[in-house]
Amino acid sequence: MSVIDYSFGLICEGETDQTLIKNIIVGWTGNRNLLFPPLQPIEGEAGGWTKVFKYCESGDFKAALKANDFIIIQIDTDFMSGDSVGKEYKIDLKDLNVKETVKAFREKIVELIGAEFYEEYSERIIFAIAVNEIECWLLPVYFSDKKAKKYVNCIDTLNQVLPQKEGFYIDAKENDYYEKLARNFRKKKDIEKYAKRQESFDLFLKNLQFAVEAAA
């Protein structure tokens, strides 16, 4: 793994998502000198999936790509089952498996970015698309049975064990708690072990590896 001190601009749904992504990348690369400018949300501002999509289709995205070595786009897929998604963002996920769901979200985001622009800079754009919610990526840390591979009710499942193991629940999305959870991602071998049980996590790691190796 290269020791070059890259910058990874973070476009995420929320601050806790930024925390997990940042720690996964640091642990996987073994490089603590990487930079992680928070592009969306910035500190103190509210996040959400709509802001991720709107950022991707804005001029800010193109400017951010020029200012950073890589851009990380993180989004959970669970909101797509709701009724509040406008037709310009709607994705039909019916009967799609994990890989197909991630592919469908990537295609929508590429559409928002602009296919021609994406084609030019695709090696520097990394997708962290968490099927259902990014908390599902934490399940293999705390479970070794079939619960580790779940893609539904992941926060509720984690909250069955977190009070005993960590001393807190994560319903409120408090970033200090996520910083503690992210300590589980300090070693590359552990990260890859966990990702093998969460396919959308594994797809993110493969995208990350491709981008970093292409830039080396």
For 61-73, how does the pLDDT look when each residue is reduced to its tens digit (9 = 90+)? 999 999 999 999 9
Whether residue 190 lies inside any domain: the answer is yes
Distance between CA 141 and CA 156 in Å, rounded? 15
Distance between CA 78 and CA 104 in Å, rounded? 13
Find the Cα–Cα–Cα–Cα dihedral 133, 134, 135, 141, rounded to 10°. Answer: 140
> Does position 127 have pLDDT exceeding 50, yes or no?
yes
Whether residue 23 lies inside any domain: the answer is yes
Whether residue 110 lies inside any domain: the answer is yes
Whether residue 46 lies inside any domain: the answer is yes
The pLDDT score that the predictor gives to residue 76 is 96
**Cis before 41? omega within 30:** yes
3-state secondary structure of 58: coil
> Does position 3 have pLDDT exceeding 60, yes or no?
no
The bridge status of strand 38-40 relative to strand 70-76 is: unpaired
The pLDDT score that the predictor gives to residue 45 is 87
Burial class (CB in 10 A: 0-12, 13-18, 19+), 97: exposed
Whether residue 3 lies inside any domain: the answer is no
CB 29 within 8 A of CB 1: yes
Whether residue 2 lies inside any domain: the answer is no
- State the residue range of the domain holding 36: 8-215
Using the Cα atoms of residue 137, residue 140, residue 142 and residue 145 in order, give the sign of their dihedral: positive
**Beta-bridge partners for 163:** none
Number of CB atoms found within 10 A of residue 27's CB: 20
> Does position 57 have pLDDT exceeding 90, yes or no?
yes
Whether residue 147 lies inside any domain: the answer is yes
> 170 falls in which pLDDT band (50, 70, 90)?
very high
> 81 falls in which pLDDT band (50, 70, 90)?
confident
Higher pLDDT, 50 or 45: 50
**Domain count within the chain:** 1
- Tell me the average pLDDT across 97-104: 97
The pLDDT score that the predictor gives to residue 1 is 42
> 216 falls in which pLDDT band (50, 70, 90)?
confident
Whether residue 115 lies inside any domain: the answer is yes
